[in-house]
């Protein structure tokens, strides 16, 4: 049995009405594979399902569904399939007990991806959209994949930010990949596909029903190391994503907003409950250990430096002698260097670009240690 056959049969099971990822996981766990489950005698299903409804559905559909035709139809639509056993399946998502046994995708996936989720209100303000775009642009420029849900508002801004930086972004849909929802984001979807991917656990033909979006949100947080909330009402889909993130052990971040805005209430409540405040990308990088080794370097991506490192002039030497693993504020560096602030700022920037110094929030600096 090859993986391609296994994927096709998993996709065939998912075409059965009402048979979702949970039921497919049960079948695979019991029989060892979807192929074996497809070929199993009807009485064997009694050991899995105590409700005859699912047994009837499987036995009826198995007579009419041709797995090979299901696979051919997906190929014609340019839709790929991937399972948790394969290398390019989102790595953190694959570790979860409830990882979808099959994901549908268009575009490109990569198994070494480091992912940050950026989510928020559909009724976003100009401030919120600007913040989401800025954070996503800066993160994507450092090689971090931006995950969001292609929804109106914050999600759209997050995807745009990643695209503008020529980075990678993944859009998780609450419908089949034979359509784009909302429809006005069709052009954005095509831009995402240049380097990134559209992803769904729903078989093509599935409409964008409201009941599908919590499942979609679970995947957004599940594939990410951290989730950033940029604007959200007190009850919103973004906060559902946060609930999943907490269950999955992900870092939760929130962008503060104007106190007069109702979509600031969600992030502010998260901050009261211990979410990390975000005013810039450094606030996120400093909280995730694998992302803090070097500015501009993320695990799984090649470190990019200038072709030539700066020569160690008086400014560089003075700074490097002061820095260690203990954060030092730029004012302290300036005082002990007896050099103009402009010279120190320029030297710090050059050392950061060379990967020798790391900037932390609040204009604090440390030496960037090689791993």
pLDDT category of residue 357 using cuts at 50, 70 and 90: confident
Q: 130 with 264, same domain?
A: yes
Q: Is residue 88 part of a domain?
A: no
Q: 111 with 57, same domain?
A: no
Among residues 187, 121, 132, which one has the least CA distance to residue 158? 132
- Please identify, among 225, 257, 291, the residue that sits at the C-terminal boundary of a domain: 291
What pLDDT score does 114 carry?
Answer: 95
Rounded Cα gap, residues 236 and 266, in angstroms? 8
φ, ψ dihedrals at 168, nearest 5°:
-110, 140
Among residues 218, 228, 225, which one has the least CA distance to residue 257? 228
pLDDT, tens only, 290-326: 886 544 454 444 333 333 344 456 778 888 888 887 7
Q: 286 with 319, same domain?
A: no
pLDDT, tens only, 117-127: 999 999 999 89
Q: Is residue 303 part of a domain?
A: no
Q: Could you tell me if 193 and 106 are in contact, meaning their C-beta atoms sit under 8 angstroms apart? A: yes
Which structure tokens are listed for 19?
A: 């048979």
pTM of the model as a whole: 0.78
Range of the domain at 355: 314-367
Calculate mean pLDDT across residues 255-263.
92
CATH number for position 188 = 3.40.50.450
Calculate mean pLDDT across residues 326-341.
77
Q: 265 with 342, same domain?
A: no
Q: 326 with 275, same domain?
A: no
- Please identify, among 54, 70, 86, the residue that sits at the C-terminal boundary of a domain: 70
Q: Could you tell me if 146 and 169 are in contact, meaning their C-beta atoms sit under 8 angstroms apart? A: yes
pLDDT, tens only, 17-48: 888 899 899 899 999 999 999 998 878 887 78
Q: Could you tell me if 257 and 154 are in contact, meaning their C-beta atoms sit under 8 angstroms apart? A: no
Contact partners, residue 46, CB within 8 Å, separation at least 6 = 55
Q: 207 with 242, same domain?
A: yes
Contact partners, residue 258, CB within 8 Å, separation at least 6 = 127, 264
Kindly compute the dihedral angle of the four CA atoms of residues 132, 134, 136, 142, in this order, to the nearest 10 degrees: -160
Q: Is residue 296 part of a domain?
A: no
Q: Is residue 83 part of a domain?
A: no
Total number of domains constituting the chain = 3
Q: 267 with 331, same domain?
A: no
- Residue matched to tokens 């947080």: 221
Q: Could you tell me if 275 and 253 are in contact, meaning their C-beta atoms sit under 8 angstroms apart? A: yes
- Please identify, among 259, 291, 323, the residue that sits at the C-terminal boundary of a domain: 291
Which structure tokens are listed for 43?
A: 């009485």
């Amino acid at each position: 049995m090859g993986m391609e056959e296994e994927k096709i049969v998993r996709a065939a099971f998912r075409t059965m009405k009402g048979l979702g990822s949970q039921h497919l996981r049960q079948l695979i766990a019991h029989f060892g594979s979807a192929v074996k489950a497809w070929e199993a005698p009807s009485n064997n299903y009694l050991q899995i399902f105590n409700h005859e409804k699912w047994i009837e559905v499987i036995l009826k559909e198995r007579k009419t569904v041709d797995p090979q035709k299901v696979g051919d139809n997906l190929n014609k639509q340019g839709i790929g399939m991937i399972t948790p056993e394969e290398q390019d399946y989102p790595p953190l998502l694959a570790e979860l007990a409830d990882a979808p046994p099959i994901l549908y995708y268009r575009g490109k996936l990569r198994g070494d991806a480091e992912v940050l989720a950026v989510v928020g209100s559909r009724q976003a303000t100009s401030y919120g959209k600007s913040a989401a775009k800025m954070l996503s642009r800066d993160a994507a420029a450092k090689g971090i994949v931006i995950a969001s849900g292609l929804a109106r508002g914050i999600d759209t801004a997050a995807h745009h930010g990643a695209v503008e930086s020529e980075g990678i972004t993944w859009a998780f849909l609450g419908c089949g990949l034979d359509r784009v929802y909302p429809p006005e984001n069709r052009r954005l979807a095509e831009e995402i596909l240049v380097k990134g991917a559209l992803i769904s656990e729903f078989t093509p033909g599935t409409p964008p029903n409201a009941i599908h979006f919590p499942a979609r949100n679970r995947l957004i947080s599940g594939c990410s190391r951290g989730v950033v909330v940029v604007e959200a009402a007190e009850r919103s889909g973004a906060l559902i994503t946060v609930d999943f993130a907490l269950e999955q052990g992900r870092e939760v971040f929130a962008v503060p907003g104007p106190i007069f805005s109702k979509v600031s209430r969600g992030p502010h409540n998260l901050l009261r409950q211990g979410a990390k405040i975000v005013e810039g990308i450094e606030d996120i990088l400093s909280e995730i250990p694998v992302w803090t080794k070097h500015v501009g370097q993320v695990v799984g991506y090649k470190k990019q430096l200038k072709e030539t490192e700066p020569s160690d002039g008086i400014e560089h030497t003075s700074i490097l002698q002061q820095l260690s693993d203990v954060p030092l504020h730029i004012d302290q560096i300036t005082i002990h260097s007896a050099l103009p602030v402009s010279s120190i700022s320029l030297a710090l920037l050059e050392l950061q670009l060379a990967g020798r110094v790391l900037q932390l929030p609040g204009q604090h600096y440390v030496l960037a240690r090689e791993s």
